[in-house]
Chains A and B, each alone.
Chain A
Amino acid sequence: MSRIKNCFEQLKQQNKTALIPYVSAGDPNPDITVELMHAMVASGADIIELGVPFSDPMADGPVIQKASERALIYGTSLTDVMGMVSTFRESNSDTPVVLMGYLNPIEVMGYEKFAQQAQDAGVDGVLTVDIPPEEAGTYIPALRHCNLDPIFLLSPTTTKERMKIICQHASGFIYYVAVKGVTGTLALDTEEVSRRLDVIKEVTDLPVGVGFGIKNADSAAAIGQVSEAVVVGSALVNLVEKNALDNDKIIKEISRELQSMRRALDS
């Protein structure tokens, strides 16, 4: 069974919501990433979403754009990111890791080669923002062949027809983008999200994680009432930016924020 599936089944038994932090690999420098991943697990993360830096992050707001830019100062490449996962796996064999990024670095490496390397490194799922299933071609088979879960986005603009198509191709979990907008947008309407989740539940049995717009423990707890997972990105990456010159402080601040979200989700 895939690590992601296993994770959601266990959480379900415990009646818990998955907490999925996102950080950009290599931000603000490559030294921090593996340590930060371990710290996030210790602070209550169930799955880690690791951003692969890209020069043109079209779906991201300023906070994650700048994270990509910081990581690219050190030339953090897709290969480097998989190396980080591999190091993380030396002392963690349970926590699922999902790579989130854009297609071009994967395209340049080649889908098969990428999938093989990702599997070898211990990656569990891949969320590529700019590849809808219609364009996926050999991308999905390549991932499946290496037991990687292809994770897709659903959005407030996705029609029910498209939801069906997308969910047929997806495994692991579904990522529901809670707002029309880029990452880091603030306004999030829990009731509206809840209504949309009801529709999603009509077309799939996969667990649903909600992201884009969860900024603190309160919004995490509110969304956690209606979804199986909450994804927190910009709120954490903001803490990286604020403490960019002090790796220890970054780890401390992100740990604290995650612990408070964890408590809010569990209470």
Chain B
Amino acid sequence: MTIETATEKKLSDMPDENGHFGQYGGMFVAETLMEPLEELKRAYLMYMQDADFLAELDKDLSDYVGRPSPLYLAERMSRELGGAKIYLKREDLNHTGAHKVNNTIGQMLLAKRMGKTRIIAETGAGQHGVATATVAARLDLECVVYMGAEDIQRQALNVYRMKLLGAKVVSVESGSRTLKDALNEAMRDWVTNIDNTFYIIGTAAGPHPYPAMVRDFQSVIGREAKQQILKHEGRLPDALVACIGGGSNAIGLFYPFVDDQDVSMYGVEAAGHGLETGEHAAPLCAGKPGVLHGNRTYLMEDQHGQIIPTHSVSAGLDYPGVGPEHSWLKDIGRANYVSVTDTEALQGFHDLTKIEGIIPALESSHAIAYVKKLAPTMDKDQIIVVNLSGRGDKDIHTVATIDGIEF
């Protein structure tokens, strides 16, 4: 018998070399993008093994972003919910206020090594746009950010931040005028300006190698959280919770734990006005597999395969697709995907603010809202790690408006 020598395939070995997570992922793009994606894939594979590159990345993450981000025990919240101990992974404390910058730093370093002089990005809430504009300013690169006209309205503060940082913000008027359309438009720009342009996708979606690459850059969240919880508690957590837009903060937290089968994982989608109303952004909970934005994944679509409009109070979750790795983790049963409504998320926003003195982003408030349901079902000696993916400054205006307050 040679069983000992047979290496068992681990969940963390995904994707395959063409970017497939089971039936999901891949490179479903027009021919013009195939070679640029191959070029990007080669650069990414090479530099992720390159000591100089990794050292520069580490230095930027520590000195510029402020990593490691703390793992904070939310004592009062844990007590009030009366169940599991709740730890918050404080991505809200990163420079620019969210986890997004972990990825933009990484991709920008790649862009620089690949000799690209122009950076483009799509953005929903504006956090990824701000994070991209920030690192572009630092490297003195031209930066163009595509943003749905609808989101420009909702996230005026971030639009102005991007402009202050020297980026050009292009309002996308096509389709539903939100994040998915911004992504389409950025892809069109990329295909037109391939020679000098690097496209920094802001979530773990898009064609290969983006889902794997964004995951790898965001995995610093989970790697740190693992070390920190071992230091605080001497053991791994029982559950991980993160909100899901395209899935980058969630996969960043989950991935380093994916082979630790005793750690359960909960990805929280936006149920908007409620799954039953159809007005939501929860493809994993209520969608079907299909192909959009270069990969096969769960989507919100009608019976003819047209992508349907989404709704969430949080612009960063308002996306009809999801990163392909989540689709795969769902199908194999490794992670659980749940949803909370706008109302529940807003309550989570207020609760964390009042109970812990931390104002969370509306995206992250979805994770908090689910923790409120999950923690009480668990024992006091159990542990939850929640990804607090961003801070709520950008959302104050939205929340105030909902609460009927005018400035």
Contacts and interface: CB of A to CB of B under 8 A. Distances in A.
Interface of A: 54-62, 65-66, 69, 72, 75, 77-79, 102-109, 129-132, 134-135, 152-159, 162, 166, 177, 180-182, 185
Contact of A155 (B31, B291, B303): B31
| Residue of B27, B187, B305 with highest tally of chain A CB at under 10 A | B305
B290 interface: yes
A109 B288 CA distance: 12
A72 B305 CA distance: 12
A109 B303 CA distance: 8
Given A78-B305, A152-B31, 7 more contacts: A54-B305, A72-B306, A104-B292, A132-B31, A134-B27, A162-B35, A180-B32
A153 B191 CA distance: 14
Contacts of B33: 157
B304 A78 contact: yes
B28 interface: yes
14 contacts: A56-B292, A61-B188, A65-B174, A72-B306, A77-B304, A104-B307, A105-B304, A108-B303, A130-B30, A155-B31, A158-B34, A159-B35, A162-B34, A182-B192
Contacts of A159: 35
Contacts of B73: none
Contacts of A134: 18, 27
B29 interface: yes
Given A55-B175, A129-B30, A185 B192 contact: yes
B24 to A, nearest CB: 12
B36 interface: yes
Interface in B269-317: 288, 290-294, 296, 299, 301, 303-308
Given A56-B307, A62-B174, A132 B34 contact: yes
Contacts of A60: 188
B329 interface: no
Contact of A103 (B174, B187, B191, B291): B291
A58 B292 CA distance: 9
Interface in B21-44: 26-36
B188 A156 contact: no
Contacts of A158: 31, 34-35
A71 to B, nearest CB: 11
A109 B306 CA distance: 12
Contacts of B31: 132, 152-155, 157-158, 166, 177
| Residue of A77, A107, A166 with highest tally of chain B CB at under 10 A | A107
A124 to B, nearest CB: 21
Nearest to A155: B32
Interface residues of B, number: 39
A157 B35 contact: yes
Contact of A156 (B27, B32, B306): B32
Nearest to B192: A181
B32 A157 contact: yes
Nearest to A129: B30
A106 B174 CA distance: 23
Nearest to B308: A55
**Chain A to chain B: the 3 pairs with minimum beta-carbon distance, closest first:** A105-B305, A108-B305, A155-B32
Given A132-B34, A158-B34, A182-B192, A103 B28 contact: yes
B194 interface: yes
B304 A58 contact: no
A51 B296 CA distance: 22
Interface string B162-197: 000000000000110000110010011001111100
Interface of B: 18, 26-36, 174-175, 180-181, 184, 187-188, 191-195, 288, 290-294, 296, 299, 301, 303-308
Contact of A104 (B35, B184, B194, B305): B305
A58 B187 contact: yes
B301 A108 contact: yes
Nearest to A185: B192
Nearest to A75: B304
B191 A182 contact: yes
A138 B108 CA distance: 37
Contacts of B174: 62, 65-66, 69
A59 B191 contact: yes
A107 B305 contact: yes
A129 B32 CA distance: 10
B306 to A, nearest CB: 4
| Residue of A69, A105, A157 with highest tally of chain B CB at under 10 A | A157
B192 A131 contact: no
Contacts of B308: 55
B283 to A, nearest CB: 13
Given A62-B174, A158-B31, A185-B192, A108 B304 contact: yes
A72 B306 CA distance: 9
A75 B293 CA distance: 22
A24 to B, nearest CB: 14
Contacts of A61: 188
Contacts of A55: 175, 306-308
A180 B28 contact: no
Contacts of B26: 135
A48 B407 CA distance: 58
A57 B294 CA distance: 12
Contacts of A75: 304
A180 B190 CA distance: 9
B29 A132 contact: yes
| Residue of A75, A106, A181 with highest tally of chain B CB at under 10 A | A181
A109 B183 CA distance: 25
A65 B182 CA distance: 14
Nearest to B20: A135
Given A135-B27, A153-B30, A109 B305 contact: yes
Nearest to B303: A108
Contacts of A79: 304
Contacts of A57: 184
Given A55-B175, A62-B174, A157-B36, A105 B29 contact: no
| Residue of A56, A154, A182 with highest tally of chain B CB at under 10 A | A56
